[in-house]
């Protein structure tokens, strides 16, 4: 074999080996690119899912905060309306004609009596609950009660109504207490609405 032939053989073998190496490199590069493309695709999907979840979480937090703020505002408005309603109710009860006013508080007194020998304490400015009304209620007490209700000379700061007093025991049936009880019940209902929405 001549020098030229040897050189050609070496070049030919090298060329074949180079082609083979190039082919393997291309295959490895292609496989690596495909694997990388798959990893990038997975990463993009995970990123998109996380971004979507974060966006949903953020949206949920914002909506919850807005709902809570709206509920608070709604409750504030309801409380303001309740203030007005109860102020009007107080004025309305205080403004009842004498006969209706006396019937209302005589009925309340009749139901509030526990023994029949209580003192009836009225407000400083009360003029419609008097000794004759107290005697009338005392006379209507059922069997088993003492018929000894009497008007106390003591006066309290009451808008309207009375306090039944027996020793240290007091049963407050004043307009303020009745309105406060009604208001508490309504406010409990409003609070339930706030936290259930």
Tens-digit pLDDT profile for residues 58-113 = 777 777 777 788 777 777 777 787 777 778 877 888 888 999 989 988 988 998 89
Tens-digit pLDDT profile for residues 112-161 = 898 888 999 999 988 999 999 999 999 988 888 888 899 999 998 988 88
CATH architecture, domain 97-185: 2-Layer Sandwich (3.30)
Q: In what helix (H) or strand (E) does residue 24 lie, and over which residues does it extend?
A: helix 3-94
Are the beta carbons of 88 and 183 closer than 8 angstroms?
no
pLDDT of the residue at 21: 60
pLDDT band at 3 (very low <50, low <70, confident <90, very high): very low
pLDDT band at 45 (very low <50, low <70, confident <90, very high): confident
First to last CA, the chain: 98
Are the beta carbons of 185 and 96 closer than 8 angstroms?
no
| C-alpha–C-alpha distance, residues 116 and 149, integer Å | 6
Helix, strand, coil in percent for the chain, rounding step 5: 70, 10, 20
For the chain, which residues make up each domain, given as ranges? 1-94, 97-185
Q: What is the pTM of this model?
A: 0.57
| C-alpha–C-alpha distance, residues 187 and 195, integer Å | 12
């Amino acid at each position: 074999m001549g020098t030229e032939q040897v050189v050609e053989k070496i070049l030919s073998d090298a060329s074949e080996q180079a082609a083979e190496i190039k082919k393997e490199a291309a295959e490895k590069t292609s496989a690596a690119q495909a694997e990388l493309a798959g990893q990038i695709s997975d990463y993009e999907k995970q990123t998109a899912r996380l971004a979507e979840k974060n966006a949903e979480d953020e949206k949920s937090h914002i909506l919850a905060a807005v709902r809570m703020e709206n509920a608070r505002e709604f409750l504030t408005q309801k409380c303001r309306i309740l203030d007005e309603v109860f102020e009007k109710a107080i004025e309305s009860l205080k403004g009842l004609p004498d006969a209706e006013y006396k019937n209302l508080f005589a009925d309340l007194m009749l139901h509030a009596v526990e023994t029949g020998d209580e003192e009836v304490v009225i407000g400083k400015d009360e003029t419609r609950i008097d000794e004759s009304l107290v005697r009338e209620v005392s006379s209507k007490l059922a069997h088993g009660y003492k018929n000894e209700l009497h008007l106390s000379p003591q006066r309290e700061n009451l808008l309207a109504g009375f306090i039944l007093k027996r020793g240290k025991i007091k049963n407050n049936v004043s307009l303020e207490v009745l309105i406060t009880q009604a208001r508490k019940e309504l406010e409990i209902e409003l609070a339930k609405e706030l936290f259930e929405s």
